[in-house]
DNA sequence: CTGGAGGCAATTGCATGCACTTTTTGCCTT
DNA sequence: AAGGCAAAAAGTGCATGCAATTGCCTCCAG
């Protein structure tokens, strides 16, 4: 190989591959079921097959990629049933995070949560889906961190990444933006008054609704269209 | 390299390495902090460095191994704080599994759970720690499966494997065996009568107690003794 | 036309080689 | 004797090569 691959940020080549391929899966650019050819990927990213292979192995360990011995790797394909189980897990995990957050967030964390949440109200008014999506992501991350439990945090983030391809389109549903904000509001209120039970319930309900909203789109998502790899 | 490595069961070489190294970590044969030298491991298992590298990468993705770029891999070392967070997560996960189990187990599953649980009472009477440990493991696995949620199952099993090195010695504590059985009994009873709330609480409490029991030994566990790799 | 056997191309799996980074060792200076 | 520096040793990271497996295509028999 020749030219030093530029762009893509630091870390070892393997890490870059994990991020690069993982991103493409999580963002839905690579569809479930799509073939991940080592040679093409290597060529596409201008590296040898070795780091690509290692990356695929790690992604497989994370559940984003499915590997059939001697038969190549594909983007993990989840059955409707498995997807439901992930969503349900997500609801429970978020409930735990919210519950712990209500009990453990520092006053600083509570303040920030409230402020950012209020700020996101503006995005709703403007109907700025993209921006709200960002706020939404941040909002949930705050809950995960606010639980002050590293392992739960990791599990939750991991689970969220597995859902990412399926929940992307959720804010396309009319009125979903405002509803989402109101659901967040319930969570925030509960957390602010330290009501862990209410916070947990609100968070669980929130995810359940997202789950249903996403199910609408999941139906469309089962044509593993073959597109150029990258 | 020469002789076909025999023994260790099938799958690709990488999978074998993942299992072999993972087992040694989970069973405590390799201690947290211990260096995992690619070359030695490769020599020990009579394979080249490549599959060992891939295995280490996957184990790292699973959290069992820690990888410092250019500086080798070590068995993941968890701080007392992180360990506590894993135990706490475990308690929550088990609570979820027990709760779902109470709601969803088939009558067959309930029957088997009860039967095996009663059978394990005999191990307690005999003080057969090893045997009880096996029953214990099975018991919890039943709960995980009984939840009828693949993803929760996976998360829970994963989390359990991370705790394995630290909870090995729990049954060494005098009287722990009988106490453990009684705690199981609470869980079983609640599940049998479909009381999900009680089942969840009983499971959470059970793990919390194990957590404390293990903490006693965790203190001893911080001499990352260097022993021969395998 | 269907089903299957055989061979070929494509792709994976593992081994090896080389470059680069980190760590160690031994010498020199203060 | 302690500290620092430099060169060597060790070990990781990636590329490449080769054997083995799979999947496909063709061709032939029924």
**Mutate which of A38, A61, A154 to test chain B, going by most B C-beta atoms within 10 A?**
A61
Question: Going along chain B, which residue ranges are E strands?
Answer: 35-36, 65-67, 73-75
pLDDT at B165: 81
Convert the pLDDT of each residue in A218-227 to its tens digit: 544 444 433 3
In DSSP terms, which residues pair with B74 in a beta bridge?
B35, B66
pLDDT at B218: 54
Residues A126, B195: Cα–Cα separation, whole Å: 47
Residues A88, A7: Cα–Cα separation, whole Å: 38
Phi, psi of B182 (to 5 degrees): -60, -40
Q: Which helix (H) or strand (E) holds A67?
A: strand A65-67
Q: Which of A152, A166, A158 is nearest to A211 (CA)?
A: A166
Higher pLDDT, B168 or B87: B87
Any idea which of A1-15, B54-68, B175-189 has the lowest mean pLDDT?
A: A1-15
Residues of A in contact with B152 (CB under 8 A): 85, 88-89, 92
Q: Which residue of B has its CA nearest to A84?
A: B149
B76-80: long-range contacts at Cβ-Cβ below 8 A with a sequence spacing of 24 or more? Answer: B76/B25, B76/B32, B76/B162, B77/B32, B77/B33, B77/B224, B78/B32, B78/B162, B80/B218
Which residues lie closer than 8 Å to A17 by C-beta, 6 or more apart? A41, A45, A47, A51, A52, A54, A55
Higher pLDDT, A91 or A226: A91
Q: Is B75 helix (H, G, I), strand (E, B) or coil?
A: strand
Residue B167 — pLDDT band, cuts 50, 70, 90? confident
For residue B49, which nucleotide's C1' is closest to its Cα? C15
Which residues lie closer than 8 Å to A132 by C-beta, 6 or more apart? A120, A123, A124, A171, A177, A180, A181
Q: Is residue A230 pLDDT above 60, yes or no?
A: no
Convert the pLDDT of each residue in A120-172 to its tens digit: 999 999 989 889 999 999 999 999 999 999 999 999 999 999 998 887 667 77
Q: Which of A212, A195, A208 is nearest to A91 (CA)?
A: A208
Query: How many CA atoms, within 13 angstroms, populate the side-chain half-sphere of residue B43?
Result: 7
CB of A58 closer than 8 Å to CB of A134: no
How many contiguous H segments (helices) and E segments (strands) does chain A have? 9, 3
Convert the pLDDT of each residue in A191-214 to its tens digit: 999 999 999 999 999 999 888 877
Residues A72, A128: Cα–Cα separation, whole Å: 41
Average pLDDT estimate for B152-176: 86
pLDDT at A229: 37
Query: Which nucleotides of strand D lie within 7 A of protein CB?
Result: 11-17, 21-23
Residues B182, B47: Cα–Cα separation, whole Å: 47
Residue A8 — pLDDT band, cuts 50, 70, 90? very low
Q: Which single residue is written with the structure tokens 């701080």?
A: B79
Higher pLDDT, A155 or B27: A155
Q: Which residue is nearest to nucleotide C20 (CA to C1')?
A: B70
């Amino acid at each position: 190989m020749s030219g030093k691959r530029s762009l893509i940020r630091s870390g070892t080549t393997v890490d870059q591959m994990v991020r690069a391929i993982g991103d493409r899966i999580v963002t839905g650019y690579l569809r479930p079921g799509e073939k991940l050819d080592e040679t093409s990927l290597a060529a596409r990213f201008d590296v040898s097959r070795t780091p690509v292979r290692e990356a695929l192995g790690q992604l497989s360990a994370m559940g984003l990629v499915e590997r059939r011995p001697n038969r190549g790797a594909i983007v993990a394909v989840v059955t409707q049933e498995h997807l439901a189980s992930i969503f349900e897990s997500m609801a429970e995990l978020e409930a735990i995070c919210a519950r712990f957050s209500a009990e453990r967030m520092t006053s600083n964390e509570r303040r920030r949560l409230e402020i950012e949440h209020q700020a996101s109200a503006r995005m709703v008014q403007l109907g700025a889906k993209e921006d709200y999506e960002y706020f939404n992501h941040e909002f949930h991350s705050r809950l995960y961190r606010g639980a002050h439990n590293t392992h739960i945090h990791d599990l939750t983030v991991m689970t969220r990444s597995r859902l990412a391809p399926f929940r992307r389109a959720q804010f396309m549903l009319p009125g979903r933006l405002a509803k989402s904000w109101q659901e967040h509001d319930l969570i925030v209120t509960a957390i602010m008054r330290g009501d862990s039970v209410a916070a947990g319930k609100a968070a669980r309900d929130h995810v359940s609704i997202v789950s249903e909203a996403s199910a609408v789109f999941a139906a469309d998502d089962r044509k593993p269209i073959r597109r150029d790899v990258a």
